[in-house]
């Protein structure tokens, strides 16, 4: 899973990325200090792994991971190549979803490209640039199939062209493609366009240290971001990138004390990572034992053979059954043997839909 961290210059994007990945990406007070995208791979926080590893005294613990890509600050005109925009847009295209960092803090020492802090205007600027790039992609596809679609002899091409016309009109109204409605027969055409605005978005409302601990509905700029996100059914995450970067540098025990002083149970970054993981409809099932305790990432709705295939294709090909127990039940029973004795281990077949937190032992034969 790859998430692109985007935003206008000087909104706290690279500061947030530093905190997420400990990568030390340069955070300077001028546009385009990030030219090539910084990439960091981080673990999805999961207390279940630590508890199961302690139970089995596992030699190795492997969490699920998320890849974050820090994409250089976009500006107005990026779709036409302003600020090396085309290069940055291609980096976004490679991501599965977008974390859009929005400046919700006032700081006279940090310049703003528009010389004023207006989070909705900032969101609109970037969204419009992505829409313009998408319109260009739609037009190119129209040019490619126009002759084939003409006359209606090729029904598939005609259907796709009709979709493209509707889609172009929709985008021209400055609406992102993720809000565009189409039927199941049209969906493959839409997916093949790999549109930038079709990607799901989390808005990371970056607040000042002075606003930490305040109710979110009392921070005017956060309210603006939430009202905008509500219109497009996107999620909002309130975070202070500067504080999160400081937290990321602390040892775990000091970090916990700092969070407690702030009245928080976990860091904003952990919440962001979890929220990003869920954004794409992903869950984790677990395997546990003395050699390794591990979280395996799957799409919510996967059946047992598909989930087995994530470990190895042979597991899916030769799938016989899955022995399944809920992770907390496994802990309460003191392990698989105890869970079996209490009748808590279920034998599931090919139609079983794997649930988040299932601990599974696959039986297969190849």
Look over the chain and give the mean of its residue pLDDT values, rounded to a whole number: 86
DSSP type of residue 30: S
- pLDDT tens-digit map of 280-300: 889 999 999 999 999 999 999
Q: Looking at residue 111, what is its pLDDT?
A: 56
Q: Looking at residue 30, what is its pLDDT?
A: 37
Q: How many CA atoms lie within 13 A of 275 on its CB side?
A: 19
If you average pLDDT over residues 50-73, what whole number do you get? Answer: 87
Q: Which residue, chain included where needed, has tokens 């034998």?
A: 347
- pLDDT tens-digit map of 144-175: 999 998 877 788 999 999 999 999 999 999 99
CA distances to 16, 73, 102, 222 from 8, in Å: 13, 5, 8, 17
Q: Looking at residue 1, what is its pLDDT?
A: 78
Q: How far apart are CA 19 and CA 12, in angstroms?
A: 11
Q: Taking CA 179 as the corner, what is the angle to CA 353 and CA 148, rounded to the nearest 5 degrees? A: 95
Nearest Cα residue to 195 out of 122, 109, 92, 293: 92
Residue spans of alpha helices (H) in the chain: 13-21, 47-56, 85-93, 119-149, 155-172, 187-191, 220-231, 241-248, 252-261, 268-279, 304-311, 313-317, 327-332, 336-341
Of residues 264 and 177, the one with the higher pLDDT is 177
- pLDDT tens-digit map of 66-98: 888 887 655 555 445 544 445 567 778 888 999
Q: What percent of the chain shows pLDDT beyond 90?
A: 52
Task: Identify whether the C-beta of residue 191 lies closer than 8 Å to the C-beta of residue 105.
Answer: no
Residue 303: pLDDT band with limits 50, 70, 90: very high
Q: Looking at residue 77, what is its pLDDT?
A: 57
Provide CB contacts within 8 A for 169, sequence distance 6+. none
Minimum mean pLDDT among 123-132, 194-203, 261-270, 286-295: which range?
Answer: 261-270
Q: Taking CA 221 as the corner, what is the angle to CA 250 and CA 238, rounded to the nearest 5 degrees? A: 35
Q: Looking at residue 35, what is its pLDDT?
A: 40
pTM for this predicted structure: 0.81
Provide CB contacts within 8 A for 257, sequence distance 6+. none
If you average pLDDT over residues 186-192, what whole number do you get? Answer: 91
Q: How far apart are CA 149 and CA 156, in angstroms?
A: 8
If you average pLDDT over residues 39-55, what whole number do you get? Answer: 89
């Amino acid at each position: 899973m790859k998430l692109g961290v985007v935003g206008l210059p000087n909104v706290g994007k690279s500061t947030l990325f530093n905190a997420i990945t400990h990568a030390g990406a340069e955070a300077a007070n001028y546009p385009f200090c990030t030219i090539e995208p910084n990439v960091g791979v981080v673990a999805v926080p999961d207390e279940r792994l630590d508890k199961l590893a302690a139970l089995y005294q596992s030699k190795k613990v492997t969490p699920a991971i998320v890849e974050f890509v820090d994409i250089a600050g976009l500006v107005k005109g990026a779709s036409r190549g302003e600020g090396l925009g085309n290069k940055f847009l291609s980096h976004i295209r490679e991501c599965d979803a977008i974390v859009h960092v929005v400046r919700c803090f006032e700081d006279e020492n940090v310049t703003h490209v528009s010389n004023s802090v207006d989070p909705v205007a900032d969101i609109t600027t970037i969204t419009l640039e992505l829409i313009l790039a998408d319109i260009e992609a739609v037009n190119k596809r129209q040019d490619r199939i126009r002759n084939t679609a003409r006359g209606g002899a090729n029904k598939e091409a005609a259907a796709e062209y009709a979709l493209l016309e509707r889609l172009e009109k929709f985008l021209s109204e400055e609406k992102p493609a993720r809000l565009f409605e189409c039927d199941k027969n049209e969906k493959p055409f839409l997916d093949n366009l790999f549109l930038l605005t079709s990607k799901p978005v989390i808005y990371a409302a970056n607040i000042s240290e002075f606003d930490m601990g305040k109710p979110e509905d009392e921070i005017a700029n956060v309210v603006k971001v939430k009202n905008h996100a509500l219109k497009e059914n996107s999620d909002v995450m309130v975070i202070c990138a500067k504080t999160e970067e400081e937290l990321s540098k602390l040892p775990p025990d000091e970090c916990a004390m700092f969070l407690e002083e702030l009245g928080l149970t976990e860091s904003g970054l952990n919440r962001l990572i979890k929220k990003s993981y869920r954004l794409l409809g992903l869950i984790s099932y677990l395997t546990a034992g003395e050699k390794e305790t591990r979280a395996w990432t799957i799409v919510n709705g996967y059946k047992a053979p598909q989930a087995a295939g994530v470990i190895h294709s042979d597991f899916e090909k030769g799938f016989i059954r899955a022995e399944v127990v809920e992770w907390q039940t496994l802990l309460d029973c003191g392990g698989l043997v105890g869970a079996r004795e209490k009748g808590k281990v279920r034998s599931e077949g090919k139609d079983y839909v794997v649930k988040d937190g299932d601990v599974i032992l696959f039986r297969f034969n190849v």
